[in-house]
Copies of this chain bind each other. A is one copy, B any other.
Amino acid sequence: MSDETNITMKDIARDLGVSVATVSRALKDSPRISAEKREAIKKYAQEHNFYPNFLAESLRKSKVQPIKVIGVIVPQLDHFYFSSILSGIEEEASSRGYRIMVAQSRESYEDEVKICRAFSESKVCGIIVSQAKNTMKYDHFQTLIDKGIPLVFYDRISTGINASRVVVDDYMGAFSAVTHLINTGCKRIAYYGTSLTMQIAKNRYNGYLDALLKNGMHPNEQLIKNCDNRSEAELITPSIMRLPEPPDAFFAVNDDTAIGILYSCKRLGFRVPEDISICGFTNGQRAIACDPMLTTVEQRGIRIGEEAASILIDQVEGRLPKDKIEKRVVRTRLIIRGTTR
């Protein structure tokens, strides 16, 4: 017999005159081995300080069922909203026995094309993607679809291609945020948002507009600004606050911009929310770090990721027809905190 500290299942099998499979089954309490034999084998193993390493064993038995891999394309991994979506995708995928391969396009169309090729060569069973900002051609996505690889878009939807998608309800998110501002007494509500060529931006702007109109208010051009980040917001807010009729509230398309407005107003001597109300959109980690904490529209990234993975896996497994275009909308939630009255 070999050295006891290194005893193997093989040794136990030889010593007891049984097969290695019998030893393995006995140690796993398999009912296929008689209770008597099981106990004898377990006792012998214990006496010889043998603790089976089932991980190593399962590795030897690999390739029984190949693990299915989903390719995930993320514009930027170190961006809170995308990483929470990725978390939701991973959660849903792993709970259904899938693994994810992840690549970041770094907002580059060229990288996106390369990633599609690499994923396809890696035999992924499907791809979940939010497209790069500068993607204007869609051949690389169409090629995947033509090859029968299911594709699901999240967040940034490709307008050039008809594929399944998961988006948040940007319109309702904005509508309910602005309605809350109106209901708490705000009369002149400014809008800071991105260029209306992006679908997301258009929907949020329309939500803002309709909330005003529904409440008998009219949009004021001077209060509508093309601005979607903190440094720009800090730059333009002082001048908008110096207008003869300055705003008494701001709705911003993301938290970063809202925080820029918040600190600009504080530096100018305004009290938030007594003088000025502010509402953002995202509900990331920043929203509770600022002072006061930010009222904002929660985008529910984890839920978006789960829905996207769920559609894809359903298509891969035939629960959804592969050629059906599935469009899901995740509802936003208004989180009321300290920057609104």
Contact = CB atoms under 8 A, between A and B. Distances in A.
Interface of A: 53, 55-56, 58-59, 62-63, 67, 69, 76-80, 83-84, 86-87, 90-91, 94, 99-104, 113, 116-122, 139-140, 143, 146-147, 259, 263, 266, 284-287, 289-291, 301-302
Contact of A69 (B91, B101, B290): B101
B103 A143 contact: no
7 nearest A-B residue pairs (beta carbon): A83-B83, A286-B289, A77-B87, A289-B289, A78-B87, A78-B84, A62-B121
11 contacts: A53-B143, A56-B147, A59-B120, A62-B121, A63-B121, A77-B86, A100-B102, A266-B291, A285-B286, A285-B289, A286-B286
Contact of A117 (B58, B91, B120): B58
Given A59-B117, A120-B62, A143-B53, A90 B69 contact: no
A121 B78 contact: no
Given A285-B285, A289-B259, A289-B290, A55 B90 contact: no
B120 A104 contact: no
Contacts of A122: 67, 69, 99
A285 B282 CA distance: 13
A59 B121 contact: yes
Contacts of A80: 78, 80, 83, 285
B113 A90 contact: no
Contacts of A100: 101-103
A76 B83 CA distance: 10
A155 to B, nearest CB: 15
B146 A55 contact: no
Nearest to A286: B289
Contact of A102 (B76, B90, B259, B266): B90
A76 B84 CA distance: 10
Contacts of A259: 289
Nearest to A284: B285
Given A143-B59, A291-B291, A90 B117 contact: no
A128 B154 CA distance: 27
Contacts of A139: 53, 55
Contacts of A285: 80, 284-286, 289
A113 B54 CA distance: 10
A242 B108 CA distance: 55
Nearest to A141: B55
Contact of A77 (B55, B59, B90, B104): B90
A91 B102 CA distance: 11
Given A53-B139, A53-B143, A266-B291, A87 B94 contact: no
Contacts of A59: 117, 120-121, 143, 147
Given A55-B117, A78-B301, A86-B102, 14 more contacts: A53-B139, A55-B140, A56-B143, A67-B121, A77-B83, A80-B83, A83-B86, A90-B104, A99-B118, A102-B102, A259-B289, A284-B285, A285-B286, A289-B289
